[in-house]
Structure 1
């Protein structure tokens, strides 16, 4: 069992460098491949090659999110779309890291006003780590739902005699699986995450490193719910991704609330780096917000307000993306466990199959049998989409987690060496 990353409290400052910086060195860097910068073959590369590096970074972020908006609207918040969203985040983070390691940038980041802005960004980035753990817990939950869905699909889609109508035993078995699925989803919807907060998996370090940190950092946590005296609470902090009191909604507010807009003087004094830090903060929030919107999370909520000035090249596409997801949330899907397209398909297909098999008379009439079989094929397709998409998405969320930790550690180590 992998030990969890310590939960971050949205009301407390981020952990000091020693809480992550020293222990992260135990990670093998070959597990975190570097995403290369845009190549000359990239059509956007030539357009931004003559720009100042910080302007080019903002233009790149604008292009990435414009491309996301250009996708088929029906693919919004699907598993494949979420993977492209995370690809965009990782590209932005890698280019942001390159900016801060650029010529003279590290020295500038160690001095006011950039030092304050960089520290604020990484305070917010640390809070995104708990969201990564919670979202991965949510993916585990969807896997459980898929098992029940797969039972119903297998019962109805396979038959010893394809020419014979579906039998009563098959219909009853499928309905029981779908009833169990519905109960699970209702429990997790009404319980604000249900068992989501009680997973034993996490993207954190090994047991030994986590236990060493737990003896100090966990006890210093005040209200995150992961700390406490006594062996019971200490054990819980090492086995749960997040505490019972942890809230995805509050964590999002801590990431995006009061994001400091750089003043013109700060932008000039830092050679544009202040704008780059603000850009990365906005990208971090919108990606974290979209993950919570799509995937079941403990105390999931999208109340965090997000507004950015219109004078940044990326503000238009990112604001439009925020509005579109919020609009989806306000529709009938606001009562769903998550806005992920495949979750909507689970709910819709299950409900449809339950309706058409309710009070069915046996043997089934030919038209009814054909209708049930058609609905069963929809279940098969949804199961296939989940099987193919959940694991790759989880790997990208793991990558997001480790890349945030790595970037924070390397940059703060660099800053400490320039002081």
Structure 2
């Protein structure tokens, strides 16, 4: 049995008021006569470990309660990163409080594996920051469209021409690296081949950003590397480490899921969602994580999202607004008919709301990704020092 009997309560609630844990392996072992030289677990360790498992469960239960309109939005991603940082800090405290046990097998190897996964997660953080910067570049032509069409008494030929050019730049900028210009032309027929050829040079602007990962780096392969050999500890291993390896396993799984969700949402090189999540539901936190994994996969299979460069809600809204605006301004007759002008102004207002979401949300999101990066580095440095791995 891979957990301290982390049986989910029959109640759907995971609050501390309801009994969520049965007798643990460690509790049963503590009541037995020790026939080996294994040291008794320090006082309070079992409660500390159970509190950590409960916090992970509570955090992800809250995240999984998001409705379809909130899931994979910038606010939801920020909530996800906040959950990671809180769980990571408690995990760091557990390691710090139990340093004498960290350099004994099999825990020493398991902690070393966790730190290796953490290093791979740093690359994912860098790629996500690149993706956030890409989204800032998309924001610029969207702002030009707003400047051209919003708050105008009358919309003339000059405003329409300026908006068209900005929409072409925006669509080319959102072109996924896997897609060709032919696919773009097919998807946005009204741009026309000539316009696409003329404006294709704009693609260089969006691709000329300073990338912090190599051009052949793959998010899908990185996630696969993080998930390799990630298996729940056996009962005898839990006993031999006083349950500490269970905390290491839990934090490893949280790390994997958070990186996977970021890759699913934000544009990055060679995105792939094929990572397999197989975990026993005996863990309190397994249910909400598996539920989120399934919901995100279902979102990726929707027809409108299959070829998206990211599943972030705001990316979808940008694409929808850009497509609708392009249909409205393409081959339009001036002056605009009253009904068409009203529809255009409504769509421009929607684009303004998306632009505001990006303006308000991208900077705080990037700061959180940076903080995740820093915390991982700090924890790894302290952990290696504690186990002697930094010598």
Kindly state the Cα deviation for residue 326 of structure 1 after the two structures are TM-superposed.
1.0
Aligned counterpart, 1:212 = none
Aligned counterpart, 1:386 = 358
Output the TM-score relative to the length of structure 2.
Answer: 0.80
2:94 to 88, 92, 99: 99
Output the TM-score relative to the length of structure 1.
Answer: 0.75
Q: Does 1:374 align with 2:369?
A: no
Mapping for residues 217-366 of structure 1, pairs under 5 Å: 240-332=211-303, 333-366=305-338
Mapping for residues 33-182 of structure 1, pairs under 5 Å: 52-102=47-97, 105-159=98-152, 162=153, 165-182=154-171
Matches of 1:141 and 1:56, distance apart in 2: 39
Aligned counterpart, 1:235 = none
Alpha-carbon spacing, 1:155–1:196, altered in 2? closer, same or farther (3 Å): closer
Alpha-carbon spacing, 1:295–1:417, altered in 2? closer, same or farther (3 Å): closer
**In the comparison of the two structures, how many residue pairs are matched?**
331
Alpha-carbon spacing, 1:327–1:417, altered in 2? closer, same or farther (3 Å): closer
Aligned counterpart, 1:208 = none
Q: Is the 8 A contact 2:102 2:386 kept in 1?
A: no
Q: Is the 8 A contact 2:114 2:252 kept in 1?
A: yes
Q: Which runs of 5+ in 1 are unaligned?
A: 1-42, 201-239
Which deviates further from its counterpart, 322-331 or 400-409?
Answer: 322-331
Q: Which runs of 5+ in 2 are unaligned?
A: 1-13, 22-43, 181-202
Matches of 2:205 and 2:306, distance apart in 1: 20
Q: Is the 8 A contact 1:247 1:298 kept in 2?
A: yes
Larger Rg: 2
Kindly state the Cα deviation for residue 258 of structure 1 after the two structures are TM-superposed.
2.3
Kindly state the Cα deviation for residue 188 of structure 1 after the two structures are TM-superposed.
3.5
Mapping for residues 197-208 of structure 1, pairs under 5 Å: 199-200=209-210
Root-mean-square deviation (CA, aligned residues, Å) is 2.4
Matches of 1:322 and 1:188, distance apart in 2: 25
Kindly state the Cα deviation for residue 187 of structure 1 after the two structures are TM-superposed.
5.1
Q: Is the 8 A contact 2:70 2:76 kept in 1?
A: yes
Kindly state the Cα deviation for residue 384 of structure 1 after the two structures are TM-superposed.
0.4
Kindly state the Cα deviation for residue 244 of structure 1 after the two structures are TM-superposed.
1.5
